[in-house]
Amino acid sequence: MEYIDHLKNIGIVPTKEFFWNLSAPQLISQTLRNGEGIIASSGALACDTGEFTGRSPKDKYVVKDEKTADSIWWGEINHPFLPEDFDRLYDRVASHLSYKDIYIKDVYACAKSEYRLNIRVITENPWQSLFANNLFLRPSEKELETFTHEWLILAAPSFKADPKIDKTLQHNFTIINFTKKVILIGGSAYTGEIKKGIFTVLNYLLPHEKNVLSMHCSANIGTEGDTAVFFGLSGTGKTTLSADPSRKLIGDDEHGWDDDHVFNFEGGCYAKCYGLSREKEPQIFSAIRYGTLLENIRFLEGTDIVDYENVSVTENTRAAYPIEFIDNAILPSIGGIPNNIFFLTCDAFGVLPPISKLTVGQAMYHFISGYTAKVAGTEAGITEPQTTFSACFGKPFLPLHPTKYAELLGKKLKDNKVNVWLINTGWSGGAYGTGERIKLAYTRAMIAAVLEKKFENADFTMDDVFGLHIPLQCDGVPSEILNPKNTWTDQSKYDEMALGLAAKFTENFKDFESFAGQEIINGGPVLQSK
């Protein structure tokens, strides 16, 4: 079948040029020719995403039909969209793309072949196509000859929806149709919508239809073949702690866990760039070279050298590159069943221990909670840390109820006797402003002790408020900091702060309590403020 027939079959009747599966160098050249990007001194292509420099969760919809009506977790995350409204909007977007130069990229998701999801990504901009090339897995030339897509993404940044006609909230939108296997993106050129659209799809298909746990996490593998998984929200150290030169990277963001393996969904990384330096993140810094896409960065004045401290456009500056650009990436991106799982939290209240071991019930509870805290900013009136809870460490991307993922996690933990550790990379000796941030060297030493099996016969004590099991000793870490209460000068203040945080956990969990089993409920704080 001719390329033009493939396009007509999906409703696009091209009147301008269309470019099918251009290579990365061709997409870069086309971007430069269009005046849409600049080459940085590193060789990377720098582009701006325009009006939107991040995802817009309130403008993300799921088509509500027979397939999804009773399975999707409807509410603040998944907004319902009528099938007939989707069909009308789809036709309008396809017609819009018929009058644009378009770039078609055939890629796939899931490194483990039995879950492979073939995706056709059609975009208006060549650098969006480069993003798809870099972030998804890349078929071989031979595979491309017979490639057929299962899922279709239409990304039309210059198409502005009319809320009155199109039933959207505003002019931008991301709509997932699980029955027709289409993701429709309009009004935003932010490429993260493409990446997280497919992640949301996999977060539905794998747990709901294949009994595979989908995870928003990073993963690496040691020389002995031991797999470690790291969950954590922004600012908790997930990227830093999983990028270990002595271990190979499986992936930095999205994975599945079936009966035998942990496998990467992606073929690349979408790394945050703010504050990036060769000293702090040598692997990421070195990955930014020819073929990498940089988004929304700015240069040192009068040069083509990227100023990673400049956040005048957005703090969400990004680099998108193939995983092969990381020196110690393992290919294919597959590891065994995890031996250890780390939940990373930056507790700015100074309450949680720097390391503690979780029971299965606690692991499910803390997984559903997805807790971290952000430090007080410069905003007037904010004098203490702000709690952040994101279910399963990825609430915006969960099409199913969080307890579905937590129960699947719990079963896998029991079946495989996996150790789960809560790591606090935040404060000790007091809350932010009084205490001090736990040294990165100590956190690395604690994670190394776990990976080297040094806690297998260790003695533990139990925390009074959260019921966490705290090791009494750890090589390379002062014993006095392991129990956080001991680091506070005023221990009654610690008790007050700990009870306050426990109450915040309990309040957050009320949204999930009616769906959760007793084992998960019992995993919460053992003491609460009255």
Strands (E), 318-439: 318-322, 334-336, 338-345, 355-358, 371-374, 386-389, 419-424, 427-428, 436-437
User: What distance in Å separates the CA atoms of residue 478 and residue 472, rounded to the nearest whole number?
Assistant: 10
Which residue from 451, 461, 509 is spatially nearest to 485, judged by alpha carbons? Answer: 461
- Residue 183: both structure tokens together: 């993701």
* Amino acid, res. 195: K
Query: In the prediction, which pLDDT does 530 show?
Result: 40
- Residue 500: both structure tokens together: 């306050």
- Catalytic position from the list 29, 98, 234, 461: 234
Quick check: 149 pLDDT over 70?
yes
Q: Does residue 239 have an active-site annotation? A: yes
Strands (E), 425-519: 427-428, 436-437, 460-462, 469-471
Query: In the prediction, which pLDDT does 280 show?
Result: 84
Instruction: Specify the higher pLDDT residue, 108 or 234.
Output: 108
Look at strands 102-109 and 79-81 and give their pairing: unpaired
Instruction: Place 1 in a pLDDT band, splitting at 50, 70 and 90.
Output: low
User: In what order do the strands lie in the sheet containing 227-232?
Assistant: 248-251, 218-221, 227-232, 338-345, 419-424, 355-358, 469-471, 460-462
pLDDT in tens, 336-365: 999 999 999 999 999 999 999 999 999 999
Interval 395-406 mean pLDDT: 96
Which residue from 74, 197, 47 is spatially nearest to 135, judged by alpha carbons? Answer: 197
Which residue from 76, 34, 11 is spatially nearest to 395, judged by alpha carbons? Answer: 76
pTM for the full predicted model: 0.95
State phi, psi for 414 to the nearest 5 degrees.
-70, -45
- Catalytic position from the list 216, 255, 401, 412: 216
Q: Does residue 318 have an active-site annotation? A: yes
Preceding amide of 332 cis, omega within 30? yes
Q: Does residue 142 have an active-site annotation? A: no
Task: Give the count of beta carbons closer than 10 Å to the beta carbon of residue 443.
Answer: 22
Radius of gyration of the chain measured on its C-alpha atoms: 23
Q: Does residue 216 have an active-site annotation? A: yes
Q: Does residue 116 have an active-site annotation? A: no
pLDDT in tens, 197-244: 999 999 999 999 999 999 999 999 999 999 999 999 988 888 888 888
Query: In the prediction, which pLDDT does 251 show?
Result: 96
State phi, psi for 307 to the nearest 5 degrees.
-100, 95
Q: Does residue 443 have an active-site annotation? A: no
Cα 131 from chain centroid (whole Å):
16
